[in-house]
Amino acid sequence: MTTDQPTTMPSTIEATDHTSIATPAIICRDVHKWYGRFHALKGITVDIAAGETVVVFGPSGSAKSTFLRCLNRLETHDSGDIIVNGVTLDHHVNNLAKVRRDVGMVFQHFHLFPHYTVRKNITLAPQVVGHIPAAEANDRAEHLLERVGIPQLIDMYPSDLSGGQMQRVAIARALAMEPKVLLLDEPTSALDPESIRGILALLEDLAATGMTMVIVTHEMGFARQVADRLLFLEEGRVVEEGTPGEIFEHPKEERTRRFLEQIL
């Protein structure tokens, strides 16, 4: 275990003191996951503070996505604790619904609903999960599309959009639930270079608004600029974590240094 214990770590796992800015939005304690006999996550311990932007990087097969997907329980972990916004992720369905309302997710391949318009993609969850009135959901959708820069596409279907536009809609869709935490799973990996720049600029703005974000990405330039902290994952372990300055200028681990050399 090479993970440093952050000094902000609460003394008890149940700590839910939201008034303190240093209260972690996400707490992971020795999280393990197996796929059959394959040990995917080998004891991840990490805290993510509210308002923090954390970039997770590492070679393929290092279980970055699995880790991310455990944070809103798209995957279930087998041992250890994950506490998101004060709610422990376990087998209680009530917990799950509450967590997912507060945790937005953006996928590599967007996963927009192809049978609905952009408008309906964004308003659907606020209406049926958040129970807000149609008119309000609609206002929110228009406002969010304005924010992600494609207000003119509101009545299009996903199949009419480019990849970059689809990812903007996907981000708007996640934000429409007004989440406290946003998980982004390789949000730019399926995009062309120009769209990548657009999406990264958008995420940078989002980070500046104080949104708590966990981003799996290979865009190291972006990570350097935007991340408060980086996690280097390899084979289901956090090999090293630190600020961009620490990771890029003085990596402590040999493995981190070699990986960065390869991709930079």
Contact residues: other proteins, CB under 8 A: 72, 74, 97, 100-101, 103-105, 107, 109, 111-115, 117, 124-125, 128-130, 152-153, 155-157, 159-160, 173-174, 177
Find the DSSP H helices in the chain: 64-70, 93-102, 118-128, 134-148, 163-175, 193-208, 220-226, 244-249, 254-263
Measured from the CB atom, the residue of 100 and 229 that comes closer to other proteins is 100
Beta-carbon contacts of residue 237 (< 8 Å; ≥ 6 apart): 1, 2, 42, 43, 44
Smallest gap from Cβ 84 to other proteins, in A, equals 13
Measured from the CB atom, the residue of 101 and 224 that comes closer to other proteins is 101
Q: What is the rounded distance in angstroms from the CA atom of residue 214 to the CA atom of residue 192?
A: 22
Measured from the CB atom, the residue of 177 and 230 that comes closer to other proteins is 177
86: helix, strand or coil:
coil
Contact between 118 and 92 under an 8 Å Cβ cutoff? The reply is no
Contact between 117 and 132 under an 8 Å Cβ cutoff? The reply is no
Smallest gap from Cβ 189 to other proteins, in A, equals 14
Q: What is the rounded distance in angstroms from the CA atom of residue 206 to the CA atom of residue 141?
A: 16
Measured from the CB atom, the residue of 131 and 250 that comes closer to other proteins is 131
Smallest gap from Cβ 36 to other proteins, in A, equals 17
Measured from the CB atom, the residue of 55 and 177 that comes closer to other proteins is 177
Q: What is the rounded distance in angstroms from the CA atom of residue 94 to the CA atom of residue 85?
A: 14
Backbone angles phi, psi at 114, to 5 degrees: -70, -20
Smallest gap from Cβ 99 to other proteins, in A, equals 9
Measured from the CB atom, the residue of 150 and 238 that comes closer to other proteins is 150
Smallest gap from Cβ 142 to other proteins, in A, equals 15
Smallest gap from Cβ 152 to other proteins, in A, equals 7
